Amino acid sequence: MRTKRMYYVTYPSSGSGLKEYWEYSWSTSRGRSRGPHGGRERPSPLPPDTSTCLRVRQKEKEKEEEEKEEEAVAEEVEEEEEEEEKEREKSKPVSWEEWWTYDGISGPAFWGLINPDWWLCNKGRRQSPVNLEPNRLLFDPNLQPLHLDKHKVGGVLANTGHSVVFAVENDTRHPVNISGGPLSYRYQFHEIHLHFGLEDHIGSEHTIDGHAFPAELQIFGFNSQLYNNFSDALHRAQGIVAVSLLLQVGDLSNPQLRTFTQQLDQIKYGGQAVEITHFVVRDLLPDTKHYMTYDGSTTMPACHETTTWIILNKPIYITKQQLHALRQLYQGDMKHPNAKLGNNIRPIQPLHHRPIRTNIDFSVQQGHKNCPTMNRDLYYKGKLMVSLCKCNVLSFSARCCSTAR
């Protein structure tokens, strides 16, 4: 029968009272001379071998040292990998989506030069924004009223470093559709961009007879009847619609606009975002059925010429306090805020003989008998009389007549 016993041994020679547990085993055989232990003689345990214990301990120390060395090597390898990753990040091609700006060598004048994919920004013939000249508008009686669904949507309001953008949730059950007006298809609301100036005399991208406004809000949608999403439609014909609302300073702002401006303190720096729920896009629109429309492009790279622009003929209002809050936003993050976000404006682009149509019928405006009426065969010849009454266009202009709506 085999038995085991544990002995507790101390070795003074170790210098620190080294203590080890050693296990010894022995066998007892039947038939030996009987002793005091049940008639069997139990052999004495083997004396402990001090040198063996020290060798074991030495091996343990060596193993611990090897483990420490392996950990140190692993840390060094990890640090080297991190350094290599940083070097790779530095050597990576520039992310154009983040790199472009509205000024300097990365500004609008260079968009088409620094990236070949953005060649339209410099060489396109249907670029936006444009200056809307009242004496060159073409009345089109076939233009229908614009329609937006009044569904509530949720989304994220973000400081992208280029603009303030509200992007709708992708899984919206009841999307907001944009239809009517000059559109031949149904467009699904996708996002809103807000452009503004650091001073009141600039801010809007589109201008009216050379006059800019403090800000411009642009509602974008994509052709949901022909394309699956905004990115796909961005490169395709009749892919995008942009509804432009010019903002004027007033004592009381648009209620839905206040939904945005109340959250500005949470998106002070680039990359910050805040969730917004129960937002009604249609409530941003002013009370007017009149607008101007033309075929143009997006006003940021890659300047795709697939956008139908609709500029409403009445402003929405923003207060001085709200403009001040907008002007406190920064392009960069909290550690590197960089410049203020304002003046995110692309310069006016040439029309290149594009018609700008309107559904404003000058012949029926009250109190202006001198306003000319276009004959049907002259709708698209672009030769309106210079004496066209400017008061009919953009009823919020300082030169507008009080009867114009």
As given in the structure block, the two tokens for residue 30 are 């039947």
The set of residues, in sequence order, having a beta carbon less than 8 Å from that of 145 and lying 6+ positions away, is 180, 181, 289, 359
As given in the structure block, the two tokens for residue 248 are 């004027």
Q: How far is Cα 42 from Cα 29, in angstroms, rounded to an integer?
A: 9
pLDDT of residue 80: 80
pLDDT of residue 380: 31
- Asked whether 240 and 298 are in contact (CB, 8 A), the reply is yes
Catalytic entry in 8, 24, 102, 227 = 227
Cis upstream peptide for 233 (omega within 30°):
no
Residue 360: other Cβ atoms inside 10 A? 24
Query: Which element (helix H / strand E) includes 120?
Result: helix 120-123
- Asked whether 231 and 208 are in contact (CB, 8 A), the reply is no
Is 269 part of the annotated catalytic residue set?
no
The set of residues, in sequence order, having a beta carbon less than 8 Å from that of 101 and lying 6+ positions away, is 107, 162, 331
Burial of 180 per CB tally in 10 Å (0-12, 13-18, 19+): middle
**CA proximity to 176, closest of 155, 154, 197, 149:** 149
pLDDT of residue 371: 40
Tally of CA atoms within 13 A in the half-sphere of 71 that contains its CB:
6
Q: Can you say how many angstroms the Cα of residue 164 is from the centroid of all Cα atoms in its chain?
A: 9
pTM of the complete model = 0.71
222 has which bridge partners? Answer: 188, 240
- Which ranges of the chain have pLDDT less than 70? 1-52, 85-98, 364-405
pLDDT of residue 171: 75
Specify the pairing of strand 207-208 against strand 131-132: parallel
Tally of CA atoms within 13 A in the half-sphere of 279 that contains its CB:
28
Torsion angle in degrees (nearest 10) through CA of 283, 286, 291, 292: -90
Specify the pairing of strand 291-296 against strand 356-358: antiparallel
Backbone angles phi, psi at 121, to 5 degrees: -60, -30
pLDDT of residue 47: 54
- The SS3 call for residue 72 is helix
**CA proximity to 150, closest of 117, 112, 179, 192:** 179
As given in the structure block, the two tokens for residue 133 are 């000249």
